[in-house]
Chains A and B, each alone.
Chain A
Amino acid sequence: MNRLRGVTKKALFLPLICLVLVLLLNMIKDPGFFSIAINNGVLYGRLIDILNRGSEIAILAVGQTLVVAASAGTDISVGSVMSLSACFCSVLLAGYGVNSTDTFRMPMLAGMLSGVFVGGVCGAVNGSLVSKLKIQPMIATLILFTAARAVGLLLCNNQITYLRYEPYKYLGNFIPGCPVPTPIFVAAAVISAAFLVLRKTSLGLYIQSVGINNRAARLLGINSARICFLCYVICGLCAGIAGIVASSRIYSADSNNIGLYYELDAILAVALGGNSLGGGKFNMAASVVGAYTIQAINTTLLALGISTDQAPVVKAIIVVVIVTIQSPVFRAWVLSRTGRNRKAIKEGAGA
């Protein structure tokens, strides 16, 4: 019993349970949900689909988690920044005002990297507004939320630029000869890079201490402004990577639709992972699980034949249920009802 309680207290417990519940629901509804097949040399199946389509949200969630932890606020510009970096990349590769192209003006990799770089610059703008000028994160990022997509539209001359060059499609689809979709590799690379940094350096600890108490962290000798700034730059870079992946998926720069509403999914992923949006302690793995939970919900709804316009209703209800279950007030209420764990309630009341 004690061991069981130990497991349920782990930060990852609830997010994982939610993900498993969503997947179980699928299995009951459609027993073929977990089947994975190989067609034309590539993997097919709902699970692969969830992993593949969830890549962008997972990449964004990595950056968003750091931002939320360090600054107790959210970066709502990531969706727009995704669109901007895709447009910037396409302008470099195809040239201004070009509608469709199959030859590039510069090396493809250089164009993609500059797209990611623009994401980093946007992150730096957000970061300096938040860390130097002490502006509330949501308001500071509201500026780029409004402007980045509009600038992307101007860069693309208000049209969709198609990049019909085979290798450009690799990043968002399949590399010839490899059965696994490339976005999964990209997401895995970003996530493992984040884990390595957090595990091997003290950055994670610094971020938590800045988030829990900014002043105390500064008195301890941590440059809290720089840590906060760094988090926003990382978040911007993540948005840039996600933008390039999303653009490669549809081999075009569609500034109106790339990254639309992705900021909401990214923030939701952080919250579903049980991380407080009030900053401080964070759990990166839980956020990533949260991201794939969202994609699992999306895929499930599509599989059930609910139209994309109507799907948000179900999504909203699921979100409210999950967040309510995770709310400390609700848990205390349930515990007091079941009559067990009175000690825990007293501790909760004391805190």
Chain B
Amino acid sequence: MTSNPPFKGPDQPSRALIDKCVHCGFCLPTCPTYVLWGEEMDSPRGRIYLMKAGLEGRAEMTSSFVQHFDRCLGCLACVTACPSGVQYAPLIEKSRVQIERHYQRPDDERWFRRLLMTLLPYPSRLRILMAPLLALSPFMGRNGGIKPSLARLFPARLQALLAVAPRVSLAGLLGRVPERTPAVGGERLTVALLEGCVQRVAFAGVNEATARVLAAEGCRVDAPRAQGCCGALPLHAGHIDQARELARHNIEVFEKAGVDRIVTNAAGCGSAMKDYGELFEGDPHWAERARAISRKVRDVSQLLVELGEPRAVRRPIPARVVYHDACHLAHGQGVRSEPRALLQSIPGVEVLTPAESEICCGSAGIYNLVQPEPAAELGQRKARNIATLSPDMIATGNPGCTLQIAAAAQALGHDWPIVHPIELLDASIRGVDPRNTN
């Protein structure tokens, strides 16, 4: 029994949730870190066991303890595999909160993480950070990422960052999706679009395509100007107070928008917003408001399925498209068939699923920035699995995945175009070549 238990104060991992784990191990073969290293501490079962040991005072918050939680990608593949219904997401979130509050990281690590949390969830700051990337565009692959031959010139820590640096355009830096896009034809639903942070700055085209497609399918699409970050990155990194602050702001903004649905086109964001209820559990002022907003959230692919009979004519795009399941769509939201249905509605598209589709590509929020080695290994594993299918292009519903797979593909010498499924659908409706939309 230690005199210095690791978990203190509010926001601890829940004993009731931990007790759901029956230690069967079904999560192990689907956990990316167990697949890489085969060590129990870096498996969901092992991490839950550490949480339990922490709660029982049988473990201390040593650097080793922290490392095993840091190494977790938060991909939630374990949730999909678990037959006992263990809700791993709140467990890892709260464990990370405890670590951020009670563990003193080495200085350089602390500063790096603080920098990320100060910049990434704030689109205006992100614009400034990413502006210089405009100049670097000629040195990047088609989907972003500094070419490996050049990245090698930089120090190692920076290389990981440069490998996933997005290709930025002026339109992306300066422009924004229109505040209101009216429905084409009769209005079926009113929706508000979450523009995202990295998405709006680095992948403005995805937001534009989203607005166009939804409008073409009869939605009035609002993009509330006051919106900010949904809080996903800070939440998944254990900065729960920051996450709550950002969430409260967005809850107010989207309440004011007064729409039928809130649409996201980034897996992590959709997942975080659907979990707003949990984020404010027990909070008398915010709990119900949060739940009400959560109930309206849909990934764009889900919304399209919900809308029913498609209105806009899809023009053929003959292509072998490998669909990559972003973890926070597949595992986090259970959304697997809808993006495939979306792609399959385009004549000529052959939708393929790579082997080990349930295993994360290594992006996992800021994971590829703070754990570059395992992230790179996972990225290459993903790229190799994709390569065996000889695709014409990759489609995935998350900007992080796009950048991560782009980096891995570049490293292996591949040059596939990587798009968001909605971009492909948009191109099909407009009758343009999707490879020009990026």
- Indicate, yes or no, whether A interacts with B: no
